[in-house]
Each structure stands twice: as C-alpha cells, then as structure tokens.
Structure 1
C-alpha cells in the first residue's frame, strides 16, 4: 500500500468503526458488503492496494466463537431448552454476528495500516549468501 500522506487526521478506531476513509474520515471505505473502494470519494486516497488479509476473520472467529459458546452454555444451564432450540438460535447468531462484526474489523485494520504506514514490500527474495551478506 502506498499511502500518500503522513498521519491521518482522524483516529483509526473512529474511521474503522464508522467504515470511513482512514485519511479524511468522510468517504465510505466499502462499496458493497466487504469490497474496498478503489479511491476515497471525499479526498481521493488510493485504496486499491488496501488489504486486510485474513486477520479480521480470524479475530472474529475467536471472539464470536467464545461468546456464542458461553451464551449457549448459559442458556442450557438456566433454561435447558430442547436441542432444536440451540440448532435454531446459534447458527443465526453466528452468521449475523460475523457479518455485523467483519465490516468494522476490516475497516479498522485498514485504518491502522494507514496510520502505521504499512506497505507491501513485494516479493521477499531469498538471500543465497546467508546472514553474512554477499560473498
């Protein structure tokens, strides 16, 4: 990612939670559900190389999984519903929670990459000479 400016004017957490441009905080970051816009509509920041990878999905799986398991155990110990109730409730909670949490998590990771000036360095070439440098 080649970010064109230094520090953003907005907090990366505020920009991430509102799914806005990490530089100006005004333009929408996404077009559609999770597709990042090529450029910011407000300030023109090039977002074409912004990539959060799998990081947000991993965090959401771990966090949401722990919350759902705790809630399912709590429901089972307090009410003791039939098994079909669990099978009706928890898949809906997991899918809805994942979609609801993934957008801001992805936007926050992109905003933090912008703030910390993270860039893709390209291919990591293998150093044939070893740790001592070229021979």
Structure 2
C-alpha cells in the first residue's frame, strides 16, 4: 500500500524574486527588476514605469518608511559621535552644533533616496502592494 502525498496548497504562480539583489538595485536607485533603468525621477519621486524593461513601479507604498529609517540611522550614528566629541575635546557649543547639524543634514540627504529605493526594491521582491499582479 503506497500512498502519494499531495500538497493541499497549489503551487505559487508568481515567479520568485531574490530579495538582496532587489535591495541592492534599489539602494543604487535603479529598477529592481532590470537594474539598468532609473528608479527615481528627481530626488524622491518614483517613476511610474521603468524606461528600460517597462516594469510598472507605481504600485509602491514607501510612505514614511524611508524617513523613519533615515532618522533612525542618522541618530544612531551621530549620537555616539556627539558624546565622544563632547567628552573628549569639549568644543564650543556653537561649533559642536554647527558640525553635527551639517553632518546630520548631509547624511540625511544622502540616505533618504537610497532607503526609498531599497524599500521599493523590498516591496517588489516580496510581491507587495500590486507588484504581485504582474507576470
């Protein structure tokens, strides 16, 4: 008596998308599918369709995620730095404020579009928010 085991769930019709390559392409602000076309037009606006592979990207729902992650990363980098600089050298408060304000602004401006691209890449790889409906 042999029994064949049957799966109760049908096979997943959506193709597998690798997470880490999609995150890396998004970090570089490139299309998560082809990696060649631009992901952003301007500073933070996601293009509706990739100009190279025609992948629809308007499904993304990045919302406040990139801003939250940017604040989290910048705070975790600059807070220990602020403590070390203050306790080691005791600079003038205005000098300390100026240096860390410029640093926080520069780091935030660098990270924000890259984190937005990574979040769009994550959503694309995980078939979230309409990306699953595509072949």
Q: TM-score range by the shorter chain?
A: 0.7 to 0.9
Q: CA deviation at 1:8?
A: 4.1
1:40–1:46 Cα contact (<8 Å) kept: yes
- Unmatched segments (≥5 aa) in structure 2: 1-13, 131-135
- RMSD, aligned CA: 1.7
The count of residues paired between Structure 1 and Structure 2 equals 116
1:8/1:24 contact within 8 Å kept? no
Match of 1:37 in 2: 47
Structure 1 residue 18 corresponds to structure 2 residue 36: no
Q: Which structure: greater helix fraction? A: 2
Q: How many angstroms does 1:32 deviate by?
A: 0.4
User: Any conservation in 1 of the 2:25–2:121 contact (CA below 8 Å)?
Assistant: yes
Higher relative contact order (CA 8 A, sep 6+): 2
1:42-85 superposed Cα distances (whole Å, 9 cap, x missing partner)? 10111122221111211221121121111111111111100011
Gaps of 5+ in 1: 121-135
1:75-134 CA-partner distances (Å, limit 9, x unpaired): 1111110001112111111111111011111111111111110125xxxxxxxxxxxxxx
Question: Deviation string for 1:25-44 (max 9, x for gaps)?
Answer: 11010010011111101101
Matched residue, 1:87:
97
